[in-house]
Structure formats: structure tokens, C-alpha cells
């Protein structure tokens, strides 16, 4: 069954989530991955969005954290201050799932500006709750497309702190959580190297070469001593993902997307 690189990225990201996780979900690719996990192997995962929705089970992908779909399907909704003070700062969230506009070799994320902060080429939406998620969730996963514009030597602005300059920089600042333990892209999986905390490739997706990863990375990317190959999507994973997108398109535009059926 054929699949796209973006479908592979979403499915690979979903697979790392566990049924017992309490996950702080970002909008976009993180939301896609988290809800796919809920619809497949992790039906009891607790999904939390920044607007205060806890245990939400959306039938379609939300447009934003304020999408009524989240509050309508949530177990409960709390205030934003309670969300951050009690749940996040209280250490009750095991995984934060984030994306961004730029990522560097030490897992720092930029979602604020492209270019100089005072005179930016592009001003982006900003971090929202992402800086707090990156520092106070037990660990963070990052999902984003990989190319030289997004995977850069050094981010133009650190919105969400990863490992800073590498090594023990995170600990020097008094941040006790693990930080970004996994990056999922449309080409590969990356994890921080022990000690240096530089992101290195640990798994290549099907049909992706090392040369392709190097071409699409803005720093001299390195590979783990043993690089695995990501398992391709199953028919069930693809079918459920495509049905999720079809429902979302129907709900938001009134037009259903065609998708491949297995029956």
C-alpha cells in the first residue's frame, strides 16, 4: 500500500506514545500524531491542550486550541492558569509534543521570528505555552518536516529550550526534566547523543538514504553507530489516518477527501 512521507512522519510519531501517557499536545503535526495514537494502539492516552481541555477525544483534528471540538469531547475543562500551575508545573504531564519553524542540532525550537528579532524577515505566531511545555513536561517529542530551512545550524531565536549549547547546559539552568528525547521528521528519527545531547540519526524511513538526510540538514549531521530502518505503515495505520483527515476535511470545508480503502 503506497503512502506519503508526511503519512510516514505522522505514523512514526504516533507509535512512540504509550497508553498511559499524559500528553500536552501542540496544534498541527503533533495533534495529528497524538490523535492517531489514540485511535490505534493507545486508546486510553490522556490528551491535554493549552486551552485547558483534559482527556479530550476529538473526532476531527482541531483548527486551534480554541476549537470547540476539544471542549465538547473533553473529560473536563479547566482554566489556563490551573492548566499550567497545577498540571504542567506540578509535574503531572509525561510528554509534551511540539513542532516549530526552526530546529537546531541541540533541539532548540524557534517559533517566534525568522531573522533578527528587532528586524525580522518573518514574524511567526510565537511560542504560546511551548516554552513551558519544553521545560516542564517529563520529556518532549518534536515532529516537523526536515529541510535546510527548518533544520538549521543555529535557530534565529530560542522560543522553546532544548539542550541550549549542548552538554549539561540544560542542567546548568536548573531545568530538571529530560528535554527533547526524540525528533520525528518525514525522513528519519533523531535522538540526542548521550553526553553531548547533539541530535543524531537513529532510524531512516523506508526508501530514504543517508545522502538525502545530509542534503536536507543545515548542519553536518551525524549518524548513530547502528542506524535502524523505520517500519513502514501498516494498512490499519494508514486507513485510520486517512479517515481522520477525511473527517477533518468534511467538518471544516464540507468536502470529503478521497482516501484509499482496504475493503
Domain edges within the chain = 5-253
Residue 249 appears among annotated catalytic residues? no
Instruction: Quote the pLDDT of residue 257.
Output: 53
Give the single-character DSSP code of 20.
Answer: T
CATH of 5-253, one of 3.40.50.620, 1.10.1370.30, 3.40.1080.10, 3.30.1960.10: 3.40.1080.10
CA distance 35 to 11: 10
Q: How many CB atoms lie within 10 A of CB 69?
A: 18
Instruction: Quote the pLDDT of residue 256.
Output: 58
Q: Considering only CA atoms, which of 96, 105, 88, 103 is closest in space to residue 30?
A: 96
Tell me the Cα Rg of the chain.
Answer: 18
Catalytic residue among 32, 50, 69, 132: 50
Q: First-to-last CA distance in the chain?
A: 13
Instruction: Quote the pLDDT of residue 255.
Output: 65
CA distance 68 to 102: 29
Give me the residues of the chain with pLDDT under 50, please. Answer: 259-263
The whole-model pTM stands at 0.92
Contact 73, 57 (CB under 8 A): yes
Instruction: Quote the pLDDT of residue 128.
Output: 87
Amino acid at each position: 500500500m503506497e503512502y506519503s512521507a508526511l503519512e510516514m512522519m505522522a505514523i512514526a510519531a504516533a507509535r512512540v506514545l504509550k497508553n498511559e501517557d499524559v500528553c500536552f499536545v501542540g496544534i498541527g503535526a503533533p495533534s495529528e500524531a497524538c490523535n492517531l495514537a489514540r485511535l490505534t494502539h493507545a486508546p486510553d492516552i490522556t490528551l491535554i491542550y493549552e486551552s485547558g481541555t483534559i482527556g479530550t477525544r476529538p473526532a476531527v483534528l482541531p483548527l486551534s486550541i480554541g476549537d470547540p471540538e476539544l471542549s465538547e469531547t473533553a473529560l473536563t475543562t479547566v482554566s489556563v492558569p490551573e492548566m499550567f500551575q497545577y498540571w504542567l508545573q506540578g509535574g503531572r504531564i509525561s510528554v509534551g509534543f511540539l513542532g516549530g519553524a526552526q530546529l537546531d542540532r541541540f533541539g532548540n525550537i524557534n517559533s517566534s521570528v525568522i531573522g533578527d528579532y528587532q528586524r525580522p524577515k518573518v514574524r511567526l505566531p510565537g511560542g504560546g505555552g511551548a516554552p513551558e511545555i519544553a521545560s516542564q513536561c517529563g520529556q518532549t517529542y518534536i515532529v516537523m518536516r526536515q529541510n535546510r530551512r527548518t533544520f538549521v545550524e543555529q535557530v534565529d531565536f530560542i522560543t522553546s529550550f532544548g539542550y541550549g549549547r549542548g552538554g549539561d547546559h540544560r542542567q546548568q539552568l536548573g531545568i530538571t526534566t529530560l528535554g527533547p528525547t526524540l525528533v520525528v521528521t518525514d525522513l528519519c528519527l533523531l535522538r540526542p547523543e548521550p553526553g553531548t545531547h547533539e541530535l543524531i540519526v537513529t532510524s531512516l524511513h523506508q526508501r530514504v538514504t543517508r545522502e538525502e538526510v545530509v542534503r536536507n540538514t543545515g548542519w553536518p549531521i551525524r549518524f548513530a553507530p547502528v542506524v535502524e530502518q523505520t517500519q513502514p505503515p501498516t494498512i490499519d495505520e494508514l486507513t485510520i489516518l486517512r479517515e481522520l483527515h477525511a473527517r477533518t476535511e468534511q467538518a471544516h470545508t464540507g468536502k470529503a477527501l478521497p482516501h484509499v480503502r482496504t475493503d
